[in-house]
Structure 1
Amino acid sequence: MADPAAGPDLAPDVTPDPLEPLPLLRRELHTGPLGLSSREAARRLAVYGPNEVRRAAQRSVLRELLRQLVHPLALLLWAAAALAFVAAIGVLGWAIVAVVLVNAGFALVQERQAEKAVETLARYLPARAQVIRDGRPQHVPARDLVPGDLVVLEEGDRIPADARLTEGGIEADLSMLTGESTPVERLAGPGLQAIPVLQEPNLVFSGTSATEGQARAIVFATGDHTELGRIAALSQRTRREPSPLEKQVKKVAWLIAAVAVAMGAVFLVTGVAVGLPVTDSLMFAIGLLVANVPEGLLPTITLALAVGVRVLARQGAVIKRLSAVETLGSTNVICTDKTGTLTRNDMRLHGLWTPEHLTESGPRSAELIRAAALCTTVTRESDGQLHGDPTELALVEGAAGHAVPVEPAERDAGRRACFRFDPRLRLMSVVQDSGTGRLRVIAKGAPEAVLSLLAGGEPAGKAKEAADALAADGMRVLAVAVRDLPAGAPVPARRQQAEQGLHLLGLVGLYDPPRPEVAAAVRRCHEAGLTVHIVTGDNGATAAAIARSVGIGVPKLQVVAQSEAVDDRRLDHLLQQGDTEIVFARSSPETKLKVADALRSHGQIVAMTGDGVNDAPALHRAHIGVAMGRSGTDVAREASTMVLTDDNFATIVTAIESGRRVYDNVRKFIVYIFAHLTPEVVPFLVFALSGGAVPLPLTVLQILAIDLGTETLPALALGRERAEPGVMSRPPRPSSQGVINKDMLVRSWGWLGSVSAVLVMAAYFYVLWRAGWQPGDPTGPGTPLHDAYLTATTATFAGIVTCQVGTAIAARTDHAALRDIGFFTNPLLLAGIAFELAFTAALVYAPPLQHLFGTAALPVDVVLLIAAFPLLVWGTDELRRWARRRRSTGSRAGGRPAAGSDWTHG
């Protein structure tokens, strides 16, 4: 037993080398076969800290709420509210404050995506562990384990810390670290040289599971120093950056803020200069600020993205962050896993080779298949299903498919010995009763391992060539060899006695076929200008064969066999080859993270798939982290942005198409929302520039009724427009391209907005002049023209709403004519238009709302006048698009670049 007075020589932030000779490791950790004393364990716990994955402090909800309240659009509204209170218009001030708070709360709810990946990592650790202390086994809380503890591992246990086996062996499920579903054997013994630490045959890792066997192991790392802790640290260091949409909306918000403040300052000075009273000047400033701020923009974007989320969920993609829907539309690189994403994760017997080249059904191939199926440990459970290693399942199912079935119960009844798979020897063997009174040794494993055990004169050279050919076709290759023991010979006691002088039966090729829909999905990616890389822990040749079979690597495929060894310089060189798609084989957590970072640094928008715990940092770092819903770990799902419920690569492509559609639709309803800013601002400019001779044509509360009441449902309905033809035939938009560009502003503010402003001001002046008004006539309460003034402002308000109807119909398409998409193809928009007209009628004709919003009932002739506005607004825009299409057609006919070549974006 270790000296209880002795403390570890190792500093608490240093992990000993677990691969050094076992006596040296024990000496360094001051432990022995009887474990630590309880007193020494308590001292080490104080030095090293608890064995748990620690998480960084979260940002407070208050701080995140404050960030929403100082958004540029919110700052403008705060200024407007302050002006309202200064002008003693308390009702308006509180209404604006309510708008700010609702918007901030909406955004907070959507952005408050607490980082749960590290919490989920912690769930992989068991609550208690069996440990040898004071020379006897005892159960202690797993968080109390320390380096030097001797733990007991049994079938079904979770491994409580990183440890090295000192005796016995287990079969471990490392899928949560490696992503590979096949259990691996871990045995006490010396380590191997120059292989990744996760492949070391004598090491086990925190959070993984022991599926079979029993062993003892010495703990060499706990808490944050384990592989699990290292991945948690990577996840916490990779901060989520704002999405392209979030950045662009904020940039546009600052633009709007600058325009609003500049216009307010210029025209406020103008109003004072022309003799407006201070109260009127303040009212003008408030109106200008409120009119310039699209209060409905942020809620409408949020609602449109939420609709996109629901649509994608029905298609098998669960989106966890709303802005990711738009980010999908700008994705130009997909980094995908191979197993289960490109392939079915369903290993099958696919190829055979015998020394006589009898690859078709026949006696030798049947003998080969049956022998391979006998050399397995597959079981048939009470549910009637076969259970076991996927490779061995493929062998047993393949035998049944070739009419040489092997039933596990009968196999076990004839088994006399089993030497399980040894990762160092890379083979396993069994001794079976052949049914003739003689015993037969059957060995299967890696071709090079089995071929080295053949008796002299066996065809090893040809077998090696055949194995290479099968591997080049994407198959996992196993060699099967046998030796018939003489009659009456005893069962070999050791595997060295059994595995010698073998006779080669042949080779079997196991294949995990690609999903049938993946090739078409990859083709659509290429048509859409997307690049597809494979980042996998699998063998390079196998991954390359799968890549070629589904069309990845057109026109050029580069295979990086050991991607862990790639430095940043070579990685940058590889990724800058525009016509090359790459297979990154044998990747580690750092490799995936490096690839994601390198692509981001090159300005690419990256979608990265993953399913294991080791994928969490890269999933967190990529613009779109895509986790597998069926085969993925909880940690991967928590770290990701999108979860595929069907684990299917084709679903990613469908999601990208949906993202492009959502992006286009966001631009459509931004055109719709921005188009009525002009008719909202112009009345205040007319009021100011006339020095008050023209009474204010629109009230601030009416503006809020438009921005928050009438526009929301049609805008949301525009977010449900179907994808325009060719959405997946154009290249991804540059990451630098804003969601709002000059063409959109010209169309919304300049064309649609100007037409609407002229129409609504015409309606306003028509009502006033019909009542005999002349510039400068008083229209306040108690004056003869007051009722006419209320009717005129109501006509302005209702006119803006009816112009919105025409704008909504025009905004449905950027370039095509309305007849090309059909008037009735968006029933939600028709319903939204019906709602805004009904809402407007309520504000105009319901007495309680008339008093609140300052409206009055409109006479029939005014109703008929503004009823023509939708047709006029839509018709003028239809003419503009017709002229643009003609110019575009003429440019193409002349062999020059089309003038409207960017029509899909403007």
Structure 2
Amino acid sequence: MTVPDEMEVDPQEDIQQLLRDLGSSPNGLSLREVERRRLIHGPNTLTRTRGSRWFGQLLRQLTHPLALLLWVAALLAWISGSQPLSVAIVVVIVINAAFAFVQERHAERAVEALADIIPVTARVIREGPEEEIPASELVPGDVIHLAEGDRVSADARLIGGSVEVDLSTLTGESVPVHLQTQAAAGTGPIVEATDIVFSGTNVVGGDGRAVVFATGMHTELGHIASLSQRIGHDESPLERQVKRVAWLIAAVAVAMGLAFIPLGTALAGLSLRDSVNFAIGLLVANVPEGLLPTITLALALGVRILARNGSLVKRISAVETLGSTTVICTDKTGTLTQNRMTVTQIWTPAGVVGLPLDGTPSASLRHVAQVMTDCCSATIDVDESGTITEFGDPTELALLRAASGLGVTPPRAGDSTASRTTGGPAAVRRTFAFDPALRRMSTVVPTADGGRVNVKGAPEEVLELCTHLADRALTATDRAELHALIARWAGQGLRLLAVASKSVGPAQVGTIDRAGAERDLTLDGIVAMMDPPRTGVREAIDVCHRAGIRIMVVTGDHALTARGIAEGVGIGSHHGLEVISGPDLDAMPETELDRLLERRTELVFARTSPEAKLRITDALRDLGEVVAMTGDGVNDAPALRRSDIGVAMGRNGTDVAREAATMVLTDDNFATIVTAVAAGRRVYDNVRKFIVYIFAHATPEVVPFLMYALSGGNIPLPLTVMQILAIDLGTETLPALALGREKAEPGLMNRAPRRRTQNVVDRELLFRSWGLLGGVSTILVVALFLGTLWRGGWHFGDPVDSGPLHSTWELATTMTFLGIVACQFGTAMASRCQRAPLSSIGVFSNRLLLWGFAFELTFVVVVVTVPACQDLFGTTTPPADLLVWLLPMPVVVWGADELYRWARRRGQADARSAH
């Protein structure tokens, strides 16, 4: 007998046909057949493709464009005779690569996490008594037993009994689904089948048997695992921008170095050897040796800041990506909501009552509470220490919590059926289980004077069975008003249940059938429940709107429920809200989807599949959006990996979602995302701040070489290569790192997110760094250099290589070195703000920067006073009267930038007022 391939099995076909195709029977497989099938199909486990090797990951870190520039800098330093500094640069490269490599080794292992949620054992029937076996040994055709509390081991179709299954990890829907045996199932998506159980889901009630038709990677869970494996992470916006910056720096450095060789030989009369050495100096001056480690450490600092605020980031570049987010695609259940159904309102013939109740419940309200309690199978236990343990369907638990608040004690696990009723120890309760076709359940409980039928279910179904309201007949007007109430509450995203009851005689308690019990009922109440929003979600969404971020709800839940929750937390309040169902989305052409997403309205995508979430993500990214996708279920994993940044829930999220995401919210609070977005924007701003700071020093380092070349050597070289390296690796790094800790400027979350294509280094940044800050610094430094030479008796064209002017030249180069360092103080203070005045964040608020200044001063004193350092860097100790010239330089640089930012703010304000 040939076993058909698992992927060819149609789980919607007739049960008997399925059993024949699988070569099985209601009594399961023989052991010999099991062994044969295990060889064909392999173990019931999830596998993963081999990831990239660690050597390749490390090599990528060592060959990053900026790392390559650092290698060139190290090589040039070695060639120039500075072996110690060459080694220091190599150490910087290795430390930075190792740091980034460790971060990358936290890469997602989604398939291993998926494997963790498959149970260790399963109960199977194999032509004999039921036995417990490792779940990995299941094969297609096996018959498994499912009961309350079990986790499903493979995809299977029910062939006996019925079960309540929590599909939230697979579909995102918070309400358990009732599945029952059917002779022939209907059509539609497999996840909506009413007799199929899926691997990795939980049985919360019922009892049944099912035949396995798919195992391992052929299950729906395996399908999602395959999607997760095929989808990789693209580079973040900052990673792409840093590479562009690296190539920009490389182009400038190489161009200037190559240009200096003919200039040096033709204009300055230098030998080719000397021209090449000076070209090396230009290259070293243009390479910001501290940029790459500064960016990495600043992002790592952002990771630590987010961790303190409830966000764990597994990839450091994700910090910056959050800051550029333009669209947040969020799940509903457990993300916007608490994933805890709660009764909010109850309609009774006496009127609508809001819960929790303030006061004593009326008799009609207590009756509703008693009917709810007697018509459920969930339990709530409270031990001696006060610990509450709830077990059962979330909807029924919500009803029991509401009944408890109204003074009716909920049933406890282990209680006899009598204790669930008002009939005493000898009472026996009868239950007619929930029927998805009838959309209701009912119980018959004995009472002191006979019995009572309790019914709960969909309002429109229960209402048709009712003939009375309290002590009067139910009229057509009553029905119209009730239908209007039901429609209004459903439109608010509330989940509704109607409860009804009637009295029966003692003889009917044990004999009445379901049809007889569920007719001529008295409508007692309509219960409205909701999965309440998380605290702070509405405020967080308001902040997102002010920050120009659109919110889209992508959920597996019902459209009405999703709309109600979305509108309840403020989604769509600015530009309107549209709701798109899963079938409508599946039928929508790509061009129409693009037009829909391009509109500024916010959207709710309901009843979505994992493939649909991927499609939405890809469409948004193709439109230039930076997409953050939140989620907590297995079904979210592929989209979490595909989005620019996947955000998973840490407490209620599955291991799959946490491993697939790049960021995990440890408190499961949507509001934490807003904090993370603000932190991301702050990190990005700070990256730009220390790029301004670092780039500003290139101008006063490069211009002296150009002065030397263009003057034909008549102006001596104002700075040596060793002094440049002392600035780039010694005095520059700590203040740059301190700028990574800078406070956020006012209005950070009141501006639109930057475009995906916006460069981290743009014209405004280059003008401000190279032109304004660098230009002012260059003027001051060159004036200081020439003034020192003139003070020592030098005139234009005088040689300084030897003789009495050589010591004057050494003093002048020392003053150039000190002048650049002095300007660094002013540049660092100016770089702390991009738009606002420095007073808005506090002149002395960045204590780390003050410590950086202290280190800078100490380092400079050592370089110009310690004999060994003087020999290494070519410095000398300047007299006190020259040092006075340094004092105004930081203030001049800082003041010039303050005036520039003031002029920009005034121009922007005038432009806004003109509009």
Name the CA shift for 1:357/1:91 in 2 (closer, same or farther; >3 Å): closer
Q: CA offset at residue 473 of structure 1? A: 2.4
Contact (CA 8 Å) 1:15, 1:225: kept in 2 or not?
no
Contact (CA 8 Å) 2:594, 2:619: kept in 1 or not?
no
Q: CA offset at residue 870 of structure 1? A: 0.8
Matching residue's letter, 2:571:
I
Find the partner of 2:18 among 14, 25, 50.
25
Contact (CA 8 Å) 1:337, 1:536: kept in 2 or not?
yes
Name the CA shift for 1:123/1:101 in 2 (closer, same or farther; >3 Å): same
1:751 aligns with 2:772: yes
Find the partner of 2:344 among 338, 345, 350.
350
Q: CA offset at residue 190 of structure 1? A: 3.7
Between 490-499 and 259-268, report the one with greater CA deviation. 490-499
Name the CA shift for 1:541/1:358 in 2 (closer, same or farther; >3 Å): closer
Distance 1:606 1:654 in 2: 16
Between 763-772 and 331-340, report the one with greater CA deviation. 763-772
Q: CA offset at residue 852 of structure 1? A: 3.5
Matching residue's letter, 1:247:
R
1:702 aligns with 2:718: no
TM-score, normalised relative to structure 2: 0.90
Find the partner of 1:471 among 480, 490, 499.
490
Q: CA offset at residue 616 of structure 1? A: 0.8
Between 230-239 and 157-166, report the one with greater CA deviation. 157-166
Contact (CA 8 Å) 2:578, 2:602: kept in 1 or not?
yes
RMSD: 2.8
Structure 2: state its 5+ residue gaps. 355-360
Q: CA offset at residue 98 of structure 1? A: 3.4
Q: CA offset at residue 225 of structure 1? A: 1.0
Contact (CA 8 Å) 1:353, 1:466: kept in 2 or not?
no
Q: Deviations over 1:305-345 (max 9, x none)?
A: 22222222232222222222222222111222223332333
**Structure 1 counterpart of 2:504:** 485
Which residues in structure 2 correspond to 1:873-884 (within 5 Å)?
873-884=893-904
Which residues in structure 2 correspond to 1:625-640 (within 5 Å)?
625-640=646-661
Between 272-281 and 537-546, report the one with greater CA deviation. 272-281
Which residues in structure 2 correspond to 1:789-800 (within 5 Å)?
789-800=809-820
**Structure 1 counterpart of 2:860:** 840
Q: CA offset at residue 803 of structure 1? A: 0.8
Matching residue's letter, 2:395:
T
**Structure 2 counterpart of 1:244:** 237
Find the partner of 2:703 among 661, 673, 682.
682
Contact (CA 8 Å) 2:73, 2:287: kept in 1 or not?
no
Name the CA shift for 1:51/1:854 in 2 (closer, same or farther; >3 Å): farther
Contact (CA 8 Å) 1:84, 1:283: kept in 2 or not?
no
Q: CA offset at residue 778 of structure 1? A: 5.7
**Structure 1 counterpart of 2:451:** 439
Q: CA offset at residue 172 of structure 1? A: 3.0
Contact (CA 8 Å) 1:432, 1:441: kept in 2 or not?
yes
Distance 1:39 1:325 in 2: 55
Contact (CA 8 Å) 1:106, 1:299: kept in 2 or not?
no
Distance 1:724 1:559 in 2: 37
Find the partner of 2:644 among 623, 635, 639.
623
1:397 aligns with 2:401: yes
Distance 1:622 1:331 in 2: 11
User: Identical aligned pairs, as a percentage?
Assistant: 54
1:39 aligns with 2:32: yes
Matching residue's letter, 2:331:
D
**Structure 2 counterpart of 1:280:** 274
Q: Deviations over 1:122-179 (max 9, x none)?
A: 1112334333346454444433322112233344443221111222344433332233
1:857 aligns with 2:877: yes
Contact (CA 8 Å) 1:358, 1:364: kept in 2 or not?
no
Q: CA offset at residue 552 of structure 1? A: 1.5
**SS of residue in 1 equivalent to 2:118:** coil
Q: Deviations over 1:179-232 (max 9, x none)?
A: 344444433334542454223232211122334454332111112111111111
Name the CA shift for 1:831/1:615 in 2 (closer, same or farther; >3 Å): same
Which residues in structure 2 correspond to 1:518-533 (within 5 Å)?
518-533=537-552
Which residues in structure 2 correspond to 1:474-873 (within 5 Å)?
474-492=493-511, 495=514, 498-554=517-573, 555-562=575-582, 565-569=586-590, 572-573=593-594, 575-576=596-597, 578-773=599-794, 779=800, 784-873=804-893
Distance 2:365 2:164 in 1: 31
Distance 1:440 1:632 in 2: 42
Distance 1:468 1:386 in 2: 34
Find the partner of 1:411 among 409, 413, 420.
420
Name the CA shift for 1:425/1:888 in 2 (closer, same or farther; >3 Å): closer
Name the CA shift for 1:68/1:468 in 2 (closer, same or farther; >3 Å): same
Contact (CA 8 Å) 2:122, 2:144: kept in 1 or not?
yes
Distance 1:539 1:214 in 2: 27
Q: Deviations over 1:558-591 (max 9, x none)?
A: 1223455443437625634533111111222122
Q: Deviations over 1:235-290 (max 9, x none)?
A: 12221111111111111111111111111111122223343234422322222222
TM-score, normalised relative to structure 1: 0.91
Distance 1:570 1:419 in 2: 50
Matching residue's letter, 1:510:
M
Distance 2:769 2:184 in 1: 69
Name the CA shift for 1:343/1:115 in 2 (closer, same or farther; >3 Å): closer
Matching residue's letter, 1:378:
A
Between 198-207 and 16-25, report the one with greater CA deviation. 198-207
1:265 aligns with 2:258: yes
**SS of residue in 2 equivalent to 1:728:** helix
Q: CA offset at residue 470 of structure 1? A: 1.9
Matching residue's letter, 1:342:
L
Structure 1: state its 5+ residue gaps. 1-5, 897-906
Distance 1:178 1:853 in 2: 67
Q: CA offset at residue 349 of structure 1? A: 1.9
1:387 aligns with 2:390: yes
Distance 1:682 1:80 in 2: 19
Q: Deviations over 1:441-498 (max 9, x none)?
A: 2121122343454569866665444322221222110011223221233424865564
Name the CA shift for 1:543/1:574 in 2 (closer, same or farther; >3 Å): farther
Distance 2:211 2:680 in 1: 51
**SS of residue in 1 equivalent to 2:283:** helix
Distance 2:906 2:440 in 1: 72
Matching residue's letter, 2:542:
R
Find the partner of 1:7 among 2, 5, 10.
2
**SS of residue in 2 equivalent to 1:56:** coil
**Structure 2 counterpart of 1:108:** 101
Matching residue's letter, 1:467:
I
Name the CA shift for 1:453/1:571 in 2 (closer, same or farther; >3 Å): farther
Matching residue's letter, 1:446:
A
**Structure 2 counterpart of 1:151:** 144
Paired positions, count: 886
Name the CA shift for 1:836/1:453 in 2 (closer, same or farther; >3 Å): same
**Structure 2 counterpart of 1:204:** 197
Contact (CA 8 Å) 1:336, 1:534: kept in 2 or not?
yes
Q: Deviations over 1:70-123 (max 9, x none)?
A: 322233333344445556654454444334333333333334442211211111
Between 505-514 and 169-178, report the one with greater CA deviation. 169-178
Distance 1:415 1:252 in 2: 78
Name the CA shift for 1:568/1:369 in 2 (closer, same or farther; >3 Å): farther
Name the CA shift for 1:76/1:661 in 2 (closer, same or farther; >3 Å): closer
Q: CA offset at residue 723 of structure 1? A: 2.2
Q: CA offset at residue 28 of structure 1? A: 0.6
**SS of residue in 1 equivalent to 2:602:** strand
Distance 1:838 1:812 in 2: 22
Distance 1:646 1:567 in 2: 36
**Structure 2 counterpart of 1:341:** 335
